[in-house]
Amino acid sequence: MIEAKFIGGAEEVGSLALHLNIHDIKLLIDYGLTPSKPPSYPPMPPPMDAVFLTHAHLDHSGMLPKISSAFDANIYMTEVTMAVIPLLLNDTIKVANLEGFPIPYLKEEIENLMDSVVPTTYSEKISLGSLDIIPHNAGHIPGSTMYEIQGDENLLFTGDIQTVNTHLVWGAKPVKADVLIMESTYAGREHPPREEVEYNFKAKIEEVVDRGGKVIVPAFAVGRTQEIMLVLEKMDLDIWLDGMGRFVNNIYLKYPKYLRSAKKLKRARNKINIVRKRRDRKMALEGDVIITTGGMLEGGPVLHYINYLKNDSKSAILLTGYQVEGTNGRLLMDEGILDLYGIKEKIDMELAFFDFSAHAGHSELIEFAEKCDPNQIILMHGDNREVLAKDLREKGFDVKTPKNGESFTI
Ligand SMILES: [Zn+2]
């Protein structure tokens, strides 16, 4: 029997943390935060023998420094995830300082965490007592991992998954499992076909540039920025890149085996103009397209560019990711205004949204689950799980939707 408890992230897309007790071996998978204002954090978990991180995004990794301060456990993650997380964790402290929120941990605690990390790679088995744990590609961002836990029963924890191939990474492949613990971010929602999204995205860019406008593409630094660079690689335009994505490119290129094509990413990076110093931002504004953080317009260089172009109705903001309720990006989508450095301003630029999600959509999740062929499915990491649970039950699956803090058995 396996005892399980979500410390956080069961009912929402944020603060994911699952504690498992499998024949007295205690595991923690992920320990994230919710990057709201102020950020919210999951409670402390019970002690564990080892920690497994699925990927670098803060809703999975953001509170790990607290774990290494409180417990003496090895923390497993892929080499590329290990290289990326210090950037995001240090940025979390920086953002807290900028916004005047209490800092969640000290820089020393991040260093402390990195001392406890054990780098892993896909398909290489990790043995923990009677358990074997195998990391598999999750298709979400480079280095993102699904964990297959082999004990008396085979358990698969998906983390965030994308099953279709993107330019950046290959899609996740189903793994035969007795128990499937699956994310459900897009429960009840479908994605339009990727080719269609790309076609419309490029057509919109051409339209804006042809009428003499500039295109601002806000994109998350880790994953989305690189995907957008690859989408635009063949376009004959003056494209600039600003924000944390610049550093992530270089890290990804050091770990080519986690990319679908390192050659293409390198080509895209070499073709694009990089904003290296503040003065370059002026030149970027003379180009055609600026890809920049932050993805939800909460901060970062994107606000500088929008502030400059806000009255130019020829220019456009092309959003490439879901805008969470309560964020500046959502305010722009709903009301056409943005909080620019503390002042709410009307934005005259054209606004459009393109669904470049790195998560599997509703039907893709069902198809994935069917191919894993489990006896039991546990849905997590979604605020609309019941819709997906209903469809899976209709297909004959035993589905659980546990709540945060509720102990359950598997
Ligand atoms: Zn993610």
Centroid of ligand 1 to alpha carbon of 380 (angstroms): 13
Q: How many CB atoms lie within 10 A of CB 351?
A: 14
Centroid of ligand 1 to alpha carbon of 161 (angstroms): 8
CA distance 302 to 300: 6
Centroid of ligand 1 to alpha carbon of 401 (angstroms): 20
CA distance 329 to 37: 13
Centroid of ligand 1 to alpha carbon of 279 (angstroms): 33
Centroid of ligand 1 to alpha carbon of 296 (angstroms): 14
Centroid of ligand 1 to alpha carbon of 210 (angstroms): 35
Centroid of ligand 1 to alpha carbon of 358 (angstroms): 8
The residue to which tokens 């470049």 are assigned: 356
Please check whether residues 217 and 289 belong to one and the same domain: yes
Please check whether residues 387 and 299 belong to one and the same domain: no
Centroid of ligand 1 to alpha carbon of 383 (angstroms): 15
CATH of the domain at 289: 3.40.50.10890
Upstream peptide bond of 294 is cis (omega within 30 degrees of 0)? yes
Please check whether residues 232 and 249 belong to one and the same domain: yes
Tell me the β-bridge partners of 216: 290, 317
Centroid of ligand 1 to alpha carbon of 391 (angstroms): 24
Centroid of ligand 1 to alpha carbon of 386 (angstroms): 21
The residue to which tokens 């990491």 are assigned: 381
Given this model, what pLDDT does residue 145 score?
A: 98
CA distance 156 to 133: 10
Q: How would you label 221-259 residue by residue, b for 16+ Cβ within 10 Å and e otherwise?
A: bbbbbbbbbbbbbeeebebbbbbbbbebbebbeebeebb
Please check whether residues 375 and 297 belong to one and the same domain: no
Please check whether residues 156 and 262 belong to one and the same domain: no
Given this model, what pLDDT does residue 399 score?
A: 98
Nearest to 50 by CA among 175, 167, 135, 142: 135
CA distance 62 to 113: 11
pTM of the model: 0.96
Please check whether residues 83 and 141 belong to one and the same domain: yes
Centroid of ligand 1 to alpha carbon of 58 (angstroms): 8
Centroid of ligand 1 to alpha carbon of 160 (angstroms): 5
pLDDT along the chain (410 residues), means of 10: 97 96 97 90 97 98 97 98 98 93 96 98 97 98 98 97 98 98 98 97 98 97 98 97 97 98 98 96 98 92 97 98 89 96 96 97 98 98 97 98 97
Do the beta carbons of residue 125 and residue 32 sit within 8 Å? no
Centroid of ligand 1 to alpha carbon of 163 (angstroms): 14
Sign of CA dihedral 194, 386, 179, 82: positive
Please check whether residues 259 and 319 belong to one and the same domain: yes
Domain boundary among 335, 353, 371: 353
Element housing 292 (H / E) = strand 289-292
Centroid of ligand 1 to alpha carbon of 140 (angstroms): 7
Instruction: Give the side-chain half-sphere CA count within 13 A for 39.
Output: 27
Centroid of ligand 1 to alpha carbon of 399 (angstroms): 23
Please check whether residues 38 and 165 belong to one and the same domain: yes
Centroid of ligand 1 to alpha carbon of 227 (angstroms): 14
CA distance 32 to 67: 11
* Residues near 56 by beta carbon (within 8 Å), at least 6 away in sequence: 81, 84, 85, 88, 141, 143, 222
The 3-state secondary structure of 382-404 reads CCCHHHHHHHHHHCCCEEECCCC
Centroid of ligand 1 to alpha carbon of 141 (angstroms): 7
Work out the angle at residue 15's Cα, subtended by the Cα atoms of residues 124 and 171, and round it to the nearest 5 degrees: 40
Does residue 223 sit in helix, strand or coil?
Answer: coil
Centroid of ligand 1 to alpha carbon of 62 (angstroms): 11
Centroid of ligand 1 to alpha carbon of 308 (angstroms): 31
Q: Which domain holds residue 240?
A: 194-353
Centroid of ligand 1 to alpha carbon of 9 (angstroms): 12
What phi and psi values does residue 201 have, to the nearest 5 degrees?
-60, -50
Does residue 115 sit in helix, strand or coil?
Answer: helix
Torsion of CA 201, 138, 372, 152, to 10 degrees: -170
CATH of the domain at 73: 3.60.15.10
Q: How many domains does the chain have?
A: 2
Centroid of ligand 1 to alpha carbon of 219 (angstroms): 13
Strand ranges for 109-161 from DSSP E: 117-120, 126-128, 131-137, 145-150, 154-157
Strand order across the 398-400 sheet:
126-128, 131-137, 145-150, 154-157, 179-183, 376-380, 398-400
Please check whether residues 126 and 86 belong to one and the same domain: yes
Please check whether residues 52 and 105 belong to one and the same domain: yes
Centroid of ligand 1 to alpha carbon of 264 (angstroms): 23
Please check whether residues 335 and 365 belong to one and the same domain: no
- Which amino acid does the sequence have at 39? P
Centroid of ligand 1 to alpha carbon of 56 (angstroms): 7
Centroid of ligand 1 to alpha carbon of 231 (angstroms): 20
Please check whether residues 253 and 330 belong to one and the same domain: yes
Centroid of ligand 1 to alpha carbon of 5 (angstroms): 21
Given this model, what pLDDT does residue 180 score?
A: 98
CA distance 275 to 88: 20
CA distance 371 to 367: 6
Nearest to 76 by CA among 88, 64, 59, 63: 64
